[in-house]
Amino acid sequence: MRLHGWECLIKACRQHYDQYPEDFFNWCAVEHTPDSIIFVKAYADCTEYNVLEIDINKPLEDQVREKLDEIENAKKYNEEKIREQELKTLKRLQEKYKTETT
């Protein structure tokens, strides 16, 4: 069974995963803590990245849904900030050109 959207849990090396989706996790070491499984990708320059961490105490479906919700909320927040900034700019320009024409 393939869980739709699970890729949102990838924390690092997403571009590399996208290039080699069938092989990528074969190149990762698997570590664990009492509460999680962690996929770690090491590169030749000695850098290591925690690519994916799965909480074994919570259903994977819940983790994916929570992450997708977090991403959606961040997107909405950023869009709102952009709208607010654009509105400030619009008001500033309206005031500027209103005073220049009167």
Chain segment 61-91, per-residue pLDDT in tens: 999 999 999 999 999 999 999 999 999 999 9
Of 73, 49, 68, 55, which is closest to residue 7 (Cα–Cα)?
68
What is the rounded distance in angstroms from the CA atom of residue 99 to the CA atom of residue 93?
A: 10
Domain ranges for the chain: 6-101
Question: 36-42 and 28-32 as β-strands: parallel, antiparallel, unpaired?
Answer: antiparallel
- Mean of the pLDDT values across residues 11-38? 96
The pTM for the full model equals 0.76
